Chain A
C-alpha cells in the first residue's frame, strides 16, 4: 500500500496528529540502541487497546508488518523495522492503571517507564523487583518483549517471574486476556511464552505485575580487587558458602575509569575490578551475613571491602553501576555490548578468554556484568565511522558468544536475539529446536505480521514431518 493511503487510513483510527511519516520521523524511529538501522513506512501512536486492535486489523488485512516500540532502548535490533511496516509506538499508552496493594498487583499500560512505577510503589512501601539498568526510560511493554533482567535477577528472578498476566492483541487484531491477577489459571502458560518473544508473537496493551512489600533492610558493599580473576572467584565462593545475595555486580578497570569521570561513584581508579554486593531481607542476622561476605572477599584477595553507610552512599554506588554503559561513551563513540551468559563458576576462565579476543582484534573491551548469574556484558569500544573497526567488532562479538556457548552458557542473557544474534542461535540450538519455536510462531502469528525477521533464523535443513 502507498504510504499516503496508509497514513490516511491510520489517521482515521488515531487522529492525524498521531501518525508520523516525515523523513525525519522515519529516521528517528528506524533505530534503537543496537547498531542496526531500518526504515518504517510510518509511525502510529495509539491511545487505547481498541485503537491498537483496529490498527493491527488494518495492517493484517493489507499485509503490512507491525513492529511494537516503547522507548527503543533495545540492544539487539528487536525494535528496528528491518522490513518496513508500521512502528506501533506506545508513548501515549503510559498510564499506571491500578496499584492494587491488597492483591499485591499493579496494572500498567505498556508505555509506562519502569522506574516511574517503582517510584509510585515506594509511597506504599512496595516494590516491583526487576531492575533493568535502563529502567529510567525503558517501558513495561519493552520489558515484556525482552524478558528484561537487571542486577536483582540473582535473588528475585527476571521479568517473566513478575508478570502474571496481560491483555494481548493478536496478529489479526483479536484481543485476549491471558493469565491474570490470580495465580494458576488453568491452561498453557501463555504469559510465559509471550514474555521475551520480542514482539513477534503478540503485542501487550496491558500488563499485570507482581509487587511485594519492600525488604526491611538492605546492605550494600563494595569490594576492590587487583585482579579480575580474584573478583570472579569471590563470586563463586560467596554462593558456595550458602549465601544468595540480592545482587552481585562486577565492573573492570576500563569501565571504572569511564564511570568515575562522569558519575564519581567512588570507585577507585587503580583497581582492576570492583564487586558491588547487596544483601536484602530482615535486619536480623544481616550484619553477620555481611561479615561472612567480607571475609570471603578478603580470602580471595580483595584489597579493601567497604559498606555503604547511608542511603545516599548506596545510591551513589548504584548510579555508578547503572550509568556504566552510558559512561563508556566517553572512551569511544560506539560500543557493541555482548550479552553472553555462562555458569557462574566459568566466569574467571571466560573472562580471560574475552581479554584474549580483545587483544586478537586490537579492540578495547570494558567489562560490566551481573556476575551473580554469570551474565557478562563485554562492551567492545569502537567508532562506527571506521568501517574496518565495525567489521572487526562484529567478528569479536560473535567469537565471544561462541565462547559463552562452549562454556555451557547461552548467547543472550537479557538483551534478546533481535536481528543481531540470529545467526548465533545455532551456537545453542539445532534446526529441530528452531523448528519447534517456529510452530509457536505459526500458532500465534501465521502470517508473520509481527516484527518479521527477528529471533528465529532461517533453517535450511529438511525438517521432520
Chain B
C-alpha cells in the first residue's frame, strides 16, 4: 500500500530502520482491543519523537504511546491506531540530585529501576509511589495513567510529587512545564494537565519528581475482623486519630485467599485490615502497639506484625494483586470506584450484596482512608452468556458510587464488555471543557483517539 510505504519510509528517515517494527506478525504484540498498528517505533531521542509526532499531525495518523504496556487495557477502544510510539529507549536518569531531593528521569525507565538506584544514593532515598506492576511499569505510564498504590494515603499521588515535565505536544512542539523547584507558579500548571491525561494531550518525555529520604523503620500490622461494622469503626477511629499510617487496606476473604502472600486468617475472619507504617522508629513502635490495642477495642481477632522482608513482600503482593489475579483469570474484570471517605463501609456492604446476587466471586481491596475501592470480578468459564448480567452489575456498582459523590472506572475487562459500557463511568458537567482542551491542544485528534473520558 502506497500510503503505508510512504509512512514507513518517512519513519525510517527519522528513527532509523533498526527502530521500526513493521512486520505484521511481530506487530500482533502491539495490538489493542482487536486493532493492530501499521508500525511500532522506538525513538531514541526526543527530537525523533517530535518529528514523528509532527508528521503524524500533518497526516492525521493516530499515535498510541506505550511504555511497557502494562496498563494499555485501561480506557476505551481506540478509534484509530496507526503508530505505536514506544518510550522504551527513553530510559535514563537525567539528574539525580538527592541533596535537593529531586530526581529527573526519562519516561521509559521503570519505577523499579529508579527505586533501586535511589536506595543506593547517599543515605538512601525513594520515590513515594507504589503502583501496580512493580517490576514492569515505566514512570511515563504511571504518570500518564495517574497510577498509585496504598501509600497514597500518606504521600499522595503523582500530582503531589512532580515538579516538572517535558513533553512532546501533538503538533510536535517540545514543551516544558515547571522545573526543579518545589514551589513554582510561573505560568499555568501544565504538569497537572498532563498527569493522568492518558497520553491524549502529549507524550511524556522527562519528568522531575520530589524525593524523600528512606524512612528509618517500616512495619505492617495485619488485623483480622469478623464483622464489617467493627472494621468500619476501627478505621474510622484510626483516620481521625493522631496516628499517621502510610496505608490502610481492607481485604475481603476472596482477596485474602488470592493474594500472593501467605496471610494466615483465622477461620471466622471475614475481613483483613493491613496497615502499613513507616517513619521514625519510636513513632512506628508506638503505632504498632497503639493500633493493635485500638483494633482489640473494636473486636479484632489476633493481629500479626510484619517487618523487613515479610513487610516488603506483603506490600508487593498487594500492589501486584491485579496482575497476579489476571494470570489466573484472563477474563478478569477490575473496577475502581471512588467516593466519600466515610462511606466505604456502607459501599462495601452494598457491593457485597450485589456480588452475592451475581453468582461470581468478588475480591475487594479498599484504600479505606481514601475512599477508593477496587473490585475484582472473577468470571466463570462461560463468559458469553453472562455478559448481559455482568453489564447490569457494573451499572449497579457504578450508581452506588455515584450516589456517594464518586464514580466507577472499568480498568480492565474482556473486549465484549468494553464494547458495551462506558469504561470511564458517569459523565459530569466538566466534560465539555475537557473536550475544548483536547480540541485546542490536539485539533487533529492524533493522540490515543477515543480512549479517554467522554470519548476524547
Contact = CB atoms under 8 A, between A and B. Distances in A.
Interface of A: 101-104, 146-147, 149, 153-154, 157-158, 160-161, 170, 175-178, 180-193, 195-197, 201, 213-216, 236, 239-244, 281-282, 284-285, 288-289, 341-345, 370, 373-375, 408-417, 421, 425, 428-430, 432-437, 439-444, 455-456, 464-465
A284 B285 contact: yes
A195 B184 CA distance: 12
Given A175-B429, A284-B283, 13 more contacts: A161-B156, A161-B160, A177-B428, A178-B430, A195-B192, A236-B99, A239-B99, A240-B123, A244-B101, A244-B213, A429-B187, A436-B169, A444-B436
Contact of B441 (A101, A183, A436): A436
A175 to B, nearest CB: 8
Given A176-B430, A239-B101, A160 B339 contact: no
B184 A410 contact: yes
B280 A289 contact: yes
Given A432-B175, A433-B177, A373 B283 contact: no
In this complex, which of A104, A241, A345 has the most chain B Cβ atoms within 10 angstroms of its Cβ? A104
A177 B430 contact: yes
A413 B184 contact: yes
A429 B176 contact: yes
A185 B186 contact: no
B405 interface: yes
A68 B431 CA distance: 24
Nearest to B95: A408
A411 B100 contact: no
A186 B407 contact: yes
B127 interface: no
Given A189-B193, A413-B183, A443-B436, A182 B404 contact: yes
A281 B182 CA distance: 21
10 contacts: A176-B432, A184-B338, A185-B407, A189-B195, A244-B212, A342-B181, A343-B181, A344-B101, A434-B187, A439-B440
Contacts of A241: 123
Interface stretch (B240-248, B311-319, B355-363, B385-393): B240-248
A170 B430 CA distance: 11
B174 interface: yes
B409 interface: yes
B53 to A, nearest CB: 11
Nearest to B404: A182
B453 interface: yes
Contacts of A188: 193, 196-197, 201, 434, 437, 453
B424 interface: yes
A358 to B, nearest CB: 23
B321 to A, nearest CB: 18
4 A-B pairs closest in CB distance: A192-B192, A285-B282, A242-B213, A413-B183
B113 interface: no
Contacts of B406: 180, 182, 185
Contact residues of A: prevailing secondary structure: loop
A82 B190 CA distance: 25
A177 B428 CA distance: 8
Given A157-B156, A432-B174, A181 B184 contact: no
B141 interface: no
B380 interface: no
Given A103-B342, A182-B339, A213-B242, A440 B179 contact: no
A284 B280 contact: yes
Contacts, number: 263
B450 to A, nearest CB: 15
Contacts of B243: 282
A341 B433 contact: no
A350 B6 CA distance: 53
B183 A185 contact: no
A432 B436 contact: no
Nearest to A167: B429
B185 A146 contact: yes
B203 to A, nearest CB: 13
A464 B53 CA distance: 13
A435 to B, nearest CB: 7
A3 B370 CA distance: 50
Given A285-B281, A433-B175, A411 B186 contact: yes
B181 A413 contact: yes
B188 A197 contact: yes
B173 A464 contact: yes
Nearest to A126: B240
B16 interface: no
Nearest to A189: B192
A192 B97 contact: no
A413 B192 CA distance: 16
Contact of A436 (B123, B173, B189, B370): B173
A413 B185 contact: yes
A443 B97 contact: no
Nearest to B406: A182
Given A183-B372, A188-B437, A345-B99, A242 B123 contact: yes
Contacts of B156: 157, 161
Contact of B180 (A193, A196, A409): A409
Contacts of B433: 170, 176, 190, 443-444
B35 interface: no
Contacts of A187: 424, 428, 430-431, 434, 452-454
A182 B401 CA distance: 10
Contacts of A432: 173-175
A158 B183 contact: yes
Nearest to B241: A213
Contacts of A410: 179, 181, 184, 186
Contacts of B189: 147, 160, 192-193, 195-197
B404 to A, nearest CB: 7
Given A282-B280, A284-B283, A417-B187, A181 B192 contact: no
A180 B405 contact: yes
Given A189-B192, A196-B188, A281-B283, A181 B340 contact: yes
A193 B190 contact: yes
B196 A182 contact: no
A414 B181 CA distance: 11
A345 B48 CA distance: 34
A437 B187 contact: yes
A176 B454 CA distance: 16
B379 interface: no
B46 interface: no
In this complex, which of B186, B287, B370 has the most chain A Cβ atoms within 10 angstroms of its Cβ? B186
B174 A417 contact: no
Contacts of B34: none
B317 to A, nearest CB: 23
